[in-house]
Amino acid sequence: MGKEEALKTELIQSIINYVRANHADAIDKAYAYFWDEKNPDEFLTGNALYIGFINFEDWLIFDYKVNDAGESFIGLYIKNAAGLKDDERKLLNKIKSSRLSIYEAVSVSKDKMVVLKDLLMGVEVSLKEKALTKGLKKGDIFAARFLPLDRGHAMSGSVYPFRTEDKKTVLEYVNRMFGRYTKNENPNGTMKDFLKDYGDVFNMAWINLILNQPES
């Protein structure tokens, strides 16, 4: 783990503690929105439920709009936290604009190097991520947030695993929601704008697929 990645882990926990101590009501409101008023305990179990809670905290910190000014919790923390060091503030400003997207594994090498294609933005990301390469194979798809850290990229911790056969369904859903966004909210909005404003679109796609899976 690089220096910036280690510092990021500490800072994210500090932000979570800050939010819990100062914005408990907002957490409840965000939780209900993120899960579409559903109780995840009723349709997620085991590792999927754990991933769901990690995903919620990640979205809450980076993407949830706390107020009418559209500020995020990471933005509020940068503005309000006492005693932030220069390197901490610099790192938070560096990662605060990150967004979720959906990726396909282009190659996975034996030295743990992974090449991923962003299926919405059309760009490729190369990284060494031991945890990611475990069980990952070419063609796998998932949504995640990658942070610019240590002269490269690292996962924020959030991940939405999709089955390969659901690729078309997920992309069609995201593009349909993007169409509504440009029609009803932001006529000049780009896909980047949409993914930052509605990163929860991947959770909606994820839970819809889970809820609609045929019983075995």
The torsion angle over the Cα atoms of residues 180, 71, 87 and 99, rounded to 10 degrees, is: -10
Claim to verify: residue 159 and residue 182 sit in the same structural domain? no
Claim to verify: residue 77 and residue 12 sit in the same structural domain? yes
> Which one-letter amino acid corresponds to residue 28?
D
Claim to verify: residue 67 and residue 46 sit in the same structural domain? yes
In this prediction, residue 110 carries a pLDDT of: 75
214 DSSP 8-state letter: P
Query: For residues 105 and 162, is the Cβ–Cβ distance under 8 A?
Result: no
Identify the CATH number of the domain in which residue 144 sits.
2.40.50
Domain of 146?
A: 100-163
Angle at 195 between CA 17 and CA 184, to 5 degrees: 115
Query: For residues 57 and 73, is the Cβ–Cβ distance under 8 A?
Result: no
How many independent structural domains does the chain possess?
A: 3
In order, the DSSP letters of 175-210 are HHHHHHHHHHT-TT--HHHHHHH-TTHHHHHHHHHH
Measuring CA to CA, how many Å separate 41 from each of 45, 131, 186? 7, 26, 34
Query: For residues 124 and 151, is the Cβ–Cβ distance under 8 A?
Result: no
Claim to verify: residue 64 and residue 119 sit in the same structural domain? no
In this prediction, residue 214 carries a pLDDT of: 52
Q: How many residues does the chain have?
A: 216
The torsion angle over the Cα atoms of residues 196, 213, 28 and 13, rounded to 10 degrees, is: -60
Report d(CA 15, CA 23) in Å as an integer.
Answer: 11
Report d(CA 60, CA 11) in Å as an integer.
Answer: 14
In this prediction, residue 216 carries a pLDDT of: 44
Kindly state the helix (H) or strand (E) to which residue 29 belongs, with its residue range: helix 24-34
In this prediction, residue 211 carries a pLDDT of: 84
Q: How does pLDDT run along the chain (216 residues), one tens digit per residue?
A: 679 999 999 999 999 999 999 999 999 999 999 999 999 999 999 999 999 999 999 999 999 999 999 999 999 999 999 889 999 999 999 999 999 999 999 998 877 789 999 999 999 998 877 666 678 899 999 999 999 998 788 889 999 999 999 999 999 999 999 999 999 999 999 999 999 999 999 999 999 998 886 554
In this prediction, residue 191 carries a pLDDT of: 97
Helix (H, G, I), strand (E, B) or coil at 164: helix
In this prediction, residue 135 carries a pLDDT of: 80
Claim to verify: residue 9 and residue 55 sit in the same structural domain? yes
Place of tokens 């809820």: 211
Claim to verify: residue 109 and residue 152 sit in the same structural domain? yes
Report d(CA 179, CA 7) in Å as an integer.
Answer: 38
